[in-house]
A and B are shown apart, each in its own frame.
Chain A
């Protein structure tokens, strides 16, 4: 790897980067290198694997729009990360004039391209992107996602209308509150009519969603908070219209508009979108769209859906094996990090079954499919009912629980005040009835949860813990059991530090390096990576005994590298805390290489959470780390090894069956079932832009040690919600004391509503901030 890549006076790390420079310089796009120090990705691999983009059936699913001249397509390009990326990708038309237009959406990491498909095929376009270092991620779910994204709500427009009306109605109501002299009475009527007219779009457009939702919930026999809200809006509107038309009062137009406006803002705050994170990924989002098969000796691409048993597929370097298959030809060195989190590639021998989800590294291999894509060891997990069932088993939020009782009590008070006044003064009765519904309209209650939760969400966000939505915070607070996956979750991705427990001379190191580089065993690979680029000596004799080690002769020295049984002749004592590879040179024992498992920082803090939380471990591996893990999981019966993806799912289910609220923390596709089944699935990843399985929350590995603080903070936020509920109840009681007498003036309603809203918003944001400070999260 010491070859030099240079053009003119410029040095490059690989042939790929050199090509990028040549393409750019030919087209006078060298400013790319001026904006940032290291733009783009290293391009040290070159292969062509986009032939499938010639298949019309695949193309038609990928593109957004096509007519006889132009095609519009949107690619997701994970590598977009700096202004150089943006600049280059928007100058593609200078590299190829067939590209008419390209626009980057930086946060979504998307590139929208309009091009002339008569001069440039989709395949050529993707290859161009690949050649300049921006390979688009084309996956199956991409296609599906596009079809689902058609539904769009217009919350922002609704807020705009409500805000517009709120502002105008406020201004028009001021004269009424400040007093209108008797000779200006004609204005009073005019303002009233105008207010009512302005309210109409607020009720019929902005607030309409509350009526729909309340009606749907009533039909399902559920009383949620939307019912009293819809009732409040309706009563406010009807009473305002009657008061203005009968000239008996000024109406509550400003309260109505303010109510709807604040409610919608609360809704808006609650909806936090992470453009760069997807919580809904499953195997389809990283499986390829197409695969190459051998048909009568000819390679041809077919869509994954047409892949059947007995097809012979060709998998190249860095491609994913999409179905369980038998290895027929080539050296398979498969990286299962997507599936298990294990970063070290596994070598497979001819005739062995390779499970779907592995990524081949090295040369091209040929495999025969033994199971269709949807039935393979990994993907059949998605046939489990946990993935089909809608998520209604999740916990009820505090808001949902309270609003049921709130509504009943509210209706009781309203009707009793109506019947109290009805015999004596029916006008006063109706006034009291409507006033109760107006004043007790749970605006502050409806706002307390969204504002607390969105403040909490941004605290989590700052600490690299990304939650899918605000309800997850409450779920987090009620967790009493945590289940961990092992590899990649509590051990870090590139685990195992190598330590030499031997004093080797440079010459001896060279011998070991020359032997190990011949082997594809993971431990050997780690040894030669550790020893680094030493000159390689020719090996005269070499034999590898699977599962034991290597016997070799290099430069007239005999080497034995491997297990203690092979090297020393007796098995290792069980107590060892690390995996050891022993070394014997010319019959002299030199010592060993120790591979220590590296656990994530903060594991000890998490084990301190017991006994208030139950901790469990689920691992797909053998139990050779049992002794080390007992340190963290005090009860040895809570360590479960040799768990298949299905076992993991069932284990979570059985815990839930005994009444536990389970949080699952995992990182690979093999945890997907357990993540989905659990009450709160957290995917842990070392780079949020990388693949992570579908979950409720994504945790950056760097923040793993903050997990106990996250749990405590979530409990704090729930307390804050409870307290703000009390505050809003107090305001309701004050309002009700006026309302039941039937003497509610529009001024009091107009003051009470914004004041209570502002109190709640400021209380929740300040309290959340303080709680986060206390837990050292800010």
Chain B
């Protein structure tokens, strides 16, 4: 059963990676504006040919 030591170590390490990722997102301001991206994604990219008309 000593494999438990290794498994717990792995799971903790993985969880810490996620925590670090969250910290990185928080620090670079990715969570500051949660509303605008949801609107931005609905706007179409302009079709260049269409615009040339």
- Point out residues on A near B: beta carbons under 8 Å: 28, 31, 35, 83, 86-87, 90, 103-108, 154, 156-157, 160-161, 164, 167-168, 172, 184, 187, 190, 194
Q: Which residue from A86, A156, A164, A168 sits with its C-beta under 8 Å from B31?
A: A156
Contact in complex: B39, A83 (CB < 8 Å): yes
Contact in complex: A107, B33 (CB < 8 Å): yes
Chain B residues numbered 27-53 whose CB sits less than 8 Å from any CB in chain A:
31-33, 35-36, 39-40, 42-44, 46, 51-52
A-B contacts besides A106-B35, A168-B12, A184-B1, 10 pairs, CB < 8 Å: A28-B52, A31-B44, A31-B46, A86-B39, A104-B36, A105-B32, A105-B33, A107-B35, A161-B19, A194-B8
Contact in complex: A86, B26 (CB < 8 Å): no
Minimum distance in angstroms from A230 CB to a CB of chain B: 25
Closest to A163 in B: B19
Question: Mind listing 23 A-B residue pairs with CB under 8 Å?
Answer: A31-B44, A31-B46, A83-B39, A83-B42, A86-B43, A87-B43, A90-B40, A103-B36, A104-B36, A105-B32, A105-B36, A106-B33, A106-B36, A107-B35, A107-B36, A154-B26, A156-B31, A157-B23, A157-B26, A161-B19, A184-B1, A190-B5, A194-B12
Closest to B42 in A: A83
Q: Which residue from B12, B23, B36, B44 sits with its C-beta under 8 Å from A86?
A: B36
Q: Which residues of A contact B39 (CB under 8 A)?
A: 83, 86, 106
Q: How far is the CA of A735 from the CA of B33 in the complex (A)?
A: 43
The A-B contact count (CB < 8 A) is 50
Closest to A110 in B: B33
Minimum distance in angstroms from A134 CB to a CB of chain B: 15
Q: Which residues of B contact A172 (CB under 8 A)?
A: 8
Q: Which residues of A contact B51 (CB under 8 A)?
A: 28
Q: Which residues of A contact B46 (CB under 8 A)?
A: 28, 31
Q: How far is the CA of A140 from the CA of B41 in the complex (A)?
A: 35
Q: How far is the CA of A161 from the CA of B15 in the complex (A)?
A: 11
Size of the B side of the interface (Cβ < 8 Å), in residues, is: 23
Contact in complex: B23, A160 (CB < 8 Å): yes
- Point out residues on B near A: beta carbons under 8 Å: 1, 4-5, 8, 12, 15, 19, 22-23, 26, 31-33, 35-36, 39-40, 42-44, 46, 51-52
Q: Which residues of B contact A31 (CB under 8 A)?
A: 44, 46
Minimum distance in angstroms from A82 CB to a CB of chain B: 9
Q: Which residue from B19, B32, B43 sits with its C-beta under 8 Å from A160?
A: B19
Minimum distance in angstroms from A164 CB to a CB of chain B: 5
Closest to B34 in A: A107
Q: Which residues of B contact A157 (CB under 8 A)?
A: 23, 26
Q: How far is the CA of A259 from the CA of B37 in the complex (A)?
A: 35
Q: How far is the CA of A167 from the CA of B31 in the complex (A)?
A: 22
Minimum distance in angstroms from B16 CB to a CB of chain A: 8
Q: How far is the CA of A234 from the CA of B23 in the complex (A)?
A: 26
Q: Which residue from B5, B12, B26, B52 sits with its C-beta under 8 Å from A156?
A: B26
Q: How far is the CA of A107 from the CA of B22 in the complex (A)?
A: 23
Q: Which residues of A contact B43 (CB under 8 A)?
A: 35, 83, 86-87
Closest to A34 in B: B44
Minimum distance in angstroms from A611 CB to a CB of chain B: 46
Q: Which residues of B contact A164 (CB under 8 A)?
A: 15, 19
Q: How far is the CA of A86 from the CA of B39 in the complex (A)?
A: 8
Q: A31-B46, A160-B22, A190-B5 are in contact. Are A168 and B36 (CB under 8 A)?
A: no
Closest to A201 in B: B19
Minimum distance in angstroms from B17 CB to a CB of chain A: 11
Closest to B32 in A: A105
Q: Which residues of B contact A107 (CB under 8 A)?
A: 33, 35-36
7 closest residue pairs by CB, A with B: A106-B36, A28-B51, A105-B33, A107-B35, A87-B43, A164-B19, A83-B39
Closest to A175 in B: B4
Minimum distance in angstroms from A186 CB to a CB of chain B: 9
Minimum distance in angstroms from A676 CB to a CB of chain B: 31
Q: Which residues of B contact A86 (CB under 8 A)?
A: 36, 39-40, 43
Closest to B1 in A: A184
Minimum distance in angstroms from B27 CB to a CB of chain A: 8
Contact in complex: B4, A187 (CB < 8 Å): yes
